[in-house]
Amino acid sequence: MAVQDRTVLILYGSETGNAQDVAEELGRVCQRLHFKSRVEELDAVDLNALLQHRFVIFVISTTGQGDMPHNSLLFWKRLLRKKLPPGCLSSVQYTTFGLGDSTYLKRLEQLGATTFIESFEADEQFPDGIDGSFVRWSETLSKHLLEHHPPPFGLKPIPDNVILPAKWSLSNALENSQVVNGHYSPQLSELPPASLLPIPNGWTATLADNVRLTPETHWQDVRLVSFDIPRREGVKLQCNPGDCLTVYPKNFPQDAQKLITLMGWDDIADRPLDLSLCDSLPQNLYIDPKCTLREIILNNIDFTAIPRRSFLKSMSYFSTNPDHKERLLEFTMTEYLDEYFDYATRSRRSILEVLEEFTSVKLPAERVLDIFPLIRGRDFSIANGGIKLNHPTDENITRVELLVALVKYRTILRKPRQGLCSRYLENLPVGSSLTVTHKPVLSPIHGPQNAQRPLVAIATGTGLAPIRALIHERLTHPSRAPMHLFFGNRNRDADYFFHDEWDAAVRDGNLDVFLAFSRDQRTKIYVQDLLREEAKRLEGPIMDNGIFCVCGGSTKMADAAKRAVFDPFSEGAEDVEERKKVLSTLTWWQEIW
């Protein structure tokens, strides 16, 4: 099939949505240069699609230990097929913007594809973060395309002060909506809507329990949240260690009403809409086509998110105040990245709070899906496994437990910050039903054969969740190798999760436990310190093809733990090279967020 000259295919693989945001922004960059841009998740296209576009841009956000995101695994399998001839992608010109490790795409070069500009790998640890890296790289991309592939004769790039046509518009639905007779004042509930979201491959879960594990006086609220999930179409949910349950939070009615009033949407918020009249809709919009604008806002619009620069730019188009417009545009400029960071990122201002400050901005309701980010599901590692997944009384139900640290903190702003999903789960009544999805582990380390390999599990904080699931699963196998748990947190009295379980496992001879509570003594102790102290003990699992798992919320911790295991094993040994070979084949499994 012939290549369309001014087309760009932008493919993303994303777990948290960061890569999708970047891909959408790149689509707008190309659109301003009069390229027809198509933005898709990787699994939504086959390899032939690459051959049909002038350029292909990959935006990949790898996870944990460099694994490809779930929505790119099918594409990756297609790319790895052995029957693909070496030069089958020789006509493909591509580049990549990686959020993490994008070495997977080296396979493209093996199949003949070539890069048209240098690829880039961004990292949150960079001085100006992913945002700053993206701004500079996208400017390089624009300059290259403009210089080597200028717009057709007579056309100039669409300037930044001109808003692009909406990719997703509610215009048709709003124009054909029925006016509600009389003055309608909705009765606002205190809690988010209880309706089930129509999520593909979703499971209906009922909240069975929501127990706080940390003391009421403790600064952090950590919950053990339990869901009961019945069979779906006769199939029982099967969970393995490392799997995730994805929860889709909703907004609170009072906050949604605040947005509606602020934008001047009161007269149309409760009109019946038919979304089937819309030309196109976002793929991850989970709502019944027969709905209202209010229901879209409650269930799908993430107005509690920190505004991206692209959102602030969209705001500027609809401001009637010149000073507001100028300030909003400054936040989007490269030279003002520091000010944007201070205003939005460091302070953790929400979109709603920004709209409350820039009162001259009235965003049109028909563009709500085009301008606002959509609520994304939050992944939680499943914290139980083996027979602990069985419901106490009903064999048709899977009991899933999550170890959740509710996100509450303060910034320079007066109002305390709270995560959308944290607030949703904190206030969800026991007995409530919601739609969840199940995400299988990418690199399995469970099963009877793996149970016969020694386990060294290293966890901090709520990183204990997948470790607990794995230990539960291993205990179901009669033949299993020794297990060692290294756990670190702040205080033993407040943060030692599931201590009764671990004490019992130690008494039964099933587990060795090593604890590091950093705040319980004057000299701070971390898990990596314990690993170095136990270097001799760890030689056995290393030499016996053991499995090493590291789980927690810090890449620095994971790196320090790896050095604490690897360095003592090889340093100063007479057979250094042999030991390095052993380490090169060691199973090192990470779940870091």
Per CATH, 7-154 and 448-592 having the same topology is answered: yes
Q: Any known ligand binding at 78?
A: no
Q: Any known ligand binding at 119?
A: no
pLDDT at 2: 47
Separation of alpha carbons 192 and 249, rounded Å: 9
Q: Nearest Cα to 501, choosing from 456, 459, 471?
A: 471
Contact 486, 457 (CB under 8 A): yes
Tokens 């991206």 sit at which residue? 308
pLDDT at 490: 95
Contact 224, 211 (CB under 8 A): yes
Q: Any known ligand binding at 588?
A: yes
For 216-284, the DSSP string reads TTSSS-EEEEEEEEE-BTTBPP---TT-EEEE-----HHHHHHHHHHHT-TTTTTS-EEGGGSS---TT
Packed helices 293-300 and 253-263: angle between N→C axes, nearest 10 degrees = 130
- Surface-to-core class of residue 216, CB atoms within 10 Å of its CB (0-12 exposed, 13-18 middle, 19+ buried): exposed
What are the tokens at 8?
């760009």
Which CATH superfamily, name and number, covers 195-247+377-442? Answer: Translation factors (2.40.30.10)
Task: Say yes or no to pLDDT of 220 above 70.
Answer: yes
Stated length of the chain? 593
Task: Say yes or no to pLDDT of 101 above 70.
Answer: no
What are the tokens at 294?
């209010």
483-510 mean pLDDT: 97
For 177-213, the DSSP string reads PPPPSS-------SS---PPP--TT-EEEEEEEEEE-
Q: Any known ligand binding at 462?
A: yes
CATH topology (fold) of 7-154 = Rossmann fold (3.40.50)
Residue 61 pLDDT level (bands cut at 50, 70, 90)? confident
Q: Any known ligand binding at 417?
A: no
Direct distance between the N- and C-terminal alpha carbons of the chain, in angstroms, rounded to an integer: 42
Q: Any known ligand binding at 419?
A: yes
Q: Any known ligand binding at 582?
A: no
Half-sphere exposure at residue 259, Cβ-oriented, CA atoms within 13 angstroms: 26
What are the tokens at 132?
């700053």
Q: Any known ligand binding at 17?
A: yes
Spatial neighbors of 170 by CB under 8 A, at least 6 apart, are 273, 275, 278, 293, 365, 366, 367, 368, 369
Which CATH superfamily, name and number, covers 250-374? Answer: NADPH-cytochrome p450 Reductase; Chain A, domain 3 (1.20.990.10)
Task: Say yes or no to pLDDT of 551 above 80.
Answer: yes
For 556-590, the DSSP string reads HHHHHHHHHHHHHHHTT-TTHHHHHHHHHT-EEEE
Q: Any known ligand binding at 348?
A: yes
**Which element (helix H / strand E) includes 134?**
helix 129-148
- 3-class secondary structure, 94: strand
At 392-402, the pLDDT tens digits run 999 999 999 99
259-268 mean pLDDT: 97
Amino acid at 198: P
8-36 mean pLDDT: 90
Q: Any known ligand binding at 555?
A: no
Q: Any known ligand binding at 250?
A: no
Q: Any known ligand binding at 527?
A: yes
**Cα dihedral 353, 358, 360, 365 sign:** negative
Q: Any known ligand binding at 380?
A: yes
Q: Any known ligand binding at 139?
A: no
pLDDT at 325: 97
CATH topology (fold) of 448-592 = Rossmann fold (3.40.50)
At 278-287, the pLDDT tens digits run 999 998 999 9
Q: Any known ligand binding at 63?
A: yes
Task: Say yes or no to pLDDT of 3 above 60.
Answer: no
Q: Any known ligand binding at 526?
A: yes
Separation of alpha carbons 535 and 566, rounded Å: 9
Q: Any known ligand binding at 524?
A: yes
At 104-128, the pLDDT tens digits run 677 888 899 999 998 887 765 555 5
Separation of alpha carbons 530 and 561, rounded Å: 9
Q: Any known ligand binding at 61?
A: yes
Of 56-65, 198-207, 323-332, 524-533, minimum mean pLDDT range: 56-65
Task: Say yes or no to pLDDT of 315 above 50.
Answer: yes
Q: Any known ligand binding at 15?
A: yes
Q: What are phi and psi of 78, to 5 degrees?
A: -60, -40
pLDDT at 1: 38
Give the global pTM: 0.91
For residues 98 and 26, the model is more confident at 26
Q: Which DSSP symbol is given to 343?
A: I
* Residue extents of the structural domains in the chain: 7-154, 195-247+377-442, 250-374, 448-592
pLDDT at 187: 75
What is the rounded average pLDDT for all residues in the chain?
A: 92
